[in-house]
Each structure stands twice: as C-alpha cells, then as structure tokens.
Structure 1
C-alpha cells in the first residue's frame, strides 16, 4: 500500500501544472477514491486538495521570484483563471502578494514534497474485530455541526445539552442491538475531512425498530461489514487519536479499506477519573473488492 501511495505522490508532482483527478490517484494507489482521500488526510495531516494547492503555490513562488514570466503567466500556469484569484491564494500561503514578493524579494513559505514510509514502533497493538450487520437504523436527534480535530467540539456539547433528559431516556429504550445504548454517529462528512467542514451528528441509538416516533431523526444504514476498535484513555483526546490510528496504522497493515457510511462511537465510563472507554465502528470492505 505504501508503494502505491508513493507512486500517486509522484503522479501529483508530474502534473502540478495540469488538472489532477483524485480518481486517477486512487487508481494508481489501487483503492477507492473515497478511501484514498481519507487515507491521505489521515497520513498527511491535511486534505489532498490543500496539499496540491500548497505544492503549486510553492512552485509558483519560485517562479515569481525568478522574474522569468509575468505574474499572469505564472497564475495561468498553476491553474488560476485570473491574477486576482492567484494573488489571494498566494497571499494566503506566503503572507505577501506576488507583486510585493517580486519587488521586495520577500521570504516565502514552502510545502515540501511528501512521501510515505513505514515506521515500526512496536510499542502498542490495536484491538479490533470484524462484524457483519444487516440493515439497521440510527434513531435519535440530529444536528449539522463543524468538524473539530482535537479537544471538545463546542457545537456537539451544546447540542447534547439541548436535548431533554426525558427525550434521551426515550431514545435509549429503542436500543436493541450492538453497539448498545446511546451512541455518537457521524455521517455525511466532507471527503477532505478538513477542520471546520460540516457533518451530520446524531445523538442516537442503533435499532432494528422501524416504527420510530416522528419527532426523532432516523438514518437507514445498509447491510455491510464493520471494523470495531476499542480503547480507553483521557476524554476526548484518546477517542480522537483512535480515529487517527485506525487510518494511519490499521488500514495500511490490513486487507480492508473504508467504504461510505456513518461512523459510530460508543463511549463508556472508565475506572480512572477523567478517562473514558470507547468502541469505534468504521464501515469497511475487503481490499480485494
């Protein structure tokens, strides 16, 4: 998998002055576009589109300083339809506009080329199991919230506080299968997984009951295979690190890839104060598909 990922990175470098299709990168990496985007974001720490933008603006910065082409020629060469759009993007990355950089010989920022390699640590192992489930429903209350990578998500915390205790108790009675009890469900996430992008958050249960009260939000989930991971540690950091480790450690080492579908997190108490136990359900399919 790492070899194929690095071949995709070489492809990006060869086409920085042309259109780059994520579908072609996924083909080179021998996986789905959905999984490639998520894998890249987890490994690189930024969305694919952001990396490509930064690499293009790094090369554009060198051309601006060289003075061999006009600023408009540099803009068009790197995929910008107007000088104004190029200037905005250039300033956002480098802190100065292209004209100012050329006149003053400013210090610019650089996005290095990325490559991936395996680092063997051997200090810990991940506990997981594979579960096949038939169609089920997620039933509860839903809100559209921004994605937060680290720390408490204020929008989710406020949303949960807004749900009455009686409503939560009523939702809990609908739980009739694993994962049991109240769960946190994330759905319709942006492919980039960029911080601040919005997704659907459900404070809900997993149920097979079809006749659900009209005042509850329901998400129908198709039958499929799930990878289930468990850990415990400080809340919420340990839970957020669990998601990161799944994509940066487990997927590259196992014959599965992620598939479209909601991610389900069940959080429980821990004997240690300030910590929590977690069970994370990720929709997967065999990498041989």
Structure 2
C-alpha cells in the first residue's frame, strides 16, 4: 500500500494540469477509490482532493509570477474563469494571484508527499476477522460534523438527549453481533474531511428477521467481512488512536482493504463518567 500511495503522488505531480480520474487511478494501483481516499486522508492528514488542489496552486504560483495572462493560467490548471482560479489560489496562498504578481508573495508551498513505513514493533493490535450475514442497525440517528480529535459535542448532545428509558429499550432490542449499544458512523465523506457531515446512529444490531419499531431509524448492512479491533483506555482518545493505527500499522501489514459501509463502535465496559472505556471498533473490509 505504501508503494501504491507513492505511485499516486508521482502520478499527480506529473498530471497537475490535467483532470485526474481517481477511480481509474485506484484500479491501476490495485486498490478501490474508497480505500485509496480513506488511507490517503488518514496517513497524509488531509483529503486527497485537498492535496491535489494545494499541489496545483503551488506549481501554478510559478506561472502567476511569469508573464502569461491569468485567464490562460486558469484554463491550464482546469479552471473555467479567473474568478474560480483566484478563489482556489487564495484558499492556498492567502492572497490572490494579482497580489502575488504585483508583490512577489507571500506564497505557501505544498511539498510533494512521500510515504514511508516505519517499523517499530512495539504495539500489538488485538484484532479478529468476522464474517457476518446481513443485519440491521436500528436506533436514533442525526447528521453531525466529523471531528478527528477529542469528544464530538454534537454526538454527545445527541446521546444526552435520549432518556434513560430509551437507552434501556434499545439495549433490549439487541439480538446479534456486535452486541449492546452501538455508536455508528455512516455516509462518511470518502476523503474523511474534518467538518464534513456524517450520519451518526445511536442504537443496536438486529437480525434481518427482527420486527422493526416504526419510530426508529434503520441502516441496512449487507453480508460481509469485518475487522474488529479491541481498544481500552482513555475515551475517546484510545478509540481515535486505534482508528489511526489501522491506517498506519494494520492495513499496510495485512491483505485487507476498507470497503464502503458503516463503522461501528461497541462499548463493552466503561467508567461511570465515560473517562475510560473498553470497546471494539468494527470496520467493513474485503481482501485486497
């Protein structure tokens, strides 16, 4: 996977003035677009689309400092107008192309990324592979923004808004793995952009044959394979670090890749104030 990501950034740099079809490129690298975008975002710390934009505007700055008309430069980098090009340029450099042409800067450079696998061997990931028939996730859902670090106040507010009786009722409905009350993230942006919206569901897993209460929200989950990661410690930091470790350590070392589908957190045990917890992170996977 590391080699494929480096081939990706090399290809991007060689085609910055062309339209880049990420789906076709992923196939040529033996990956899916979904897995490629998620792994790139997790390892690079930015969405793939954002990296392409930053690299384009970094190289475009050299042309802006030249004598070509701004419209010609905009068209060269795939923009239909100087206004659209200027917005993209300003979002990266903080100033417009006219300012740079007049003053020579300031300019912000996005270097070409290079991925390397660092082998430390001091962390063992407690993981199992589970094949599951189709099931349903039922509960109470809401659209919330994605937050990479620290507690998500929108999710916390959603959970707190449910009365204790509703938590107990949902837990009683659970009848298949993963068991117990679940925290589900679905419809996540493939680039995993901070602030992008996702569907958060607080609920349980039930079999396909289970009668569904009409007032509950439902996510249909097709049959498939899951990688299940056990984590325990300070919450939610331990869960976020485990997710990061799947990208940096587990996927590069194992013949699996992410497939589209919800990610599920099953809280097995927790402190009364939820400061610490023992939990499982369920990620949908397929053989690479």
TM-score (norm 2): 0.95
Q: Aligned partners of 1:251, 1:39: CA distance in 2, in Å?
A: 9
State which drifts further: 142-151 or 69-78.
69-78
2:275 is aligned to 274
State how 1:47-196 maps to structure 2 within 5 Å: 47-65=47-65, 67-196=66-195
- Any conservation in 2 of the 1:190–1:197 contact (CA below 8 Å)? yes
Q: Aligned partners of 2:220, 2:13: CA distance in 1, in Å?
A: 41
1:200 aligns with 2:199: yes
1:34 is aligned to 34
Q: CA RMSD in A?
A: 1.5
Q: Aligned partners of 2:3, 2:278: CA distance in 1, in Å?
A: 35
Q: Aligned partners of 1:217, 1:158: CA distance in 2, in Å?
A: 18
Q: CA offset at residue 273 of structure 1?
A: 8.2
1:283 is aligned to 284
1:223 is aligned to 223
Q: Aligned partners of 1:162, 1:273: CA distance in 2, in Å?
A: 16
- Any conservation in 1 of the 2:132–2:223 contact (CA below 8 Å)? yes
- Any conservation in 1 of the 2:235–2:274 contact (CA below 8 Å)? no
Q: Taking structure 1 as reference, are residues 164 and 186 closer, same or farther at Cα in structure 2, changes over 3 Å only?
A: same
Q: Aligned partners of 1:211, 1:27: CA distance in 2, in Å?
A: 40
Deviations 1:15-56 (A, max 9, x none): 100000111221232111111111111111111100000000
State how 1:187-266 maps to structure 2 within 5 Å: 187-208=186-207, 210-266=210-266
Secondary structure at the residue paired with 1:89? Answer: helix
Q: CA offset at residue 240 of structure 1?
A: 1.0
Q: CA offset at residue 270 of structure 1?
A: 5.4
- Any conservation in 1 of the 2:260–2:284 contact (CA below 8 Å)? yes
- Any conservation in 2 of the 1:4–1:28 contact (CA below 8 Å)? no
- Any conservation in 2 of the 1:131–1:226 contact (CA below 8 Å)? yes
- Any conservation in 2 of the 1:171–1:205 contact (CA below 8 Å)? yes
TM-score (norm 1): 0.95
Deviations 1:66-108 (A, max 9, x none): x231212211111111111111111111111110111011120
Q: CA offset at residue 238 of structure 1?
A: 1.4
Q: 5+ residue gaps in structure 2?
A: none
Q: Aligned partners of 2:264, 2:193: CA distance in 1, in Å?
A: 19
Q: Taking structure 1 as reference, are residues 168 and 271 closer, same or farther at Cα in structure 2, changes over 3 Å only?
A: closer
Q: 5+ residue gaps in structure 1?
A: none
Q: CA offset at residue 146 of structure 1?
A: 0.8
Deviations 1:141-191 (A, max 9, x none): 111111111111111111111112111111110111222110101111111
Deviations 1:215-252 (A, max 9, x none): 11111211111000011122111111111111221111
Q: Aligned partners of 1:5, 1:207: CA distance in 2, in Å?
A: 38
- Any conservation in 1 of the 2:145–2:194 contact (CA below 8 Å)? yes
Aligned length: 286
Q: CA offset at residue 193 of structure 1?
A: 0.8
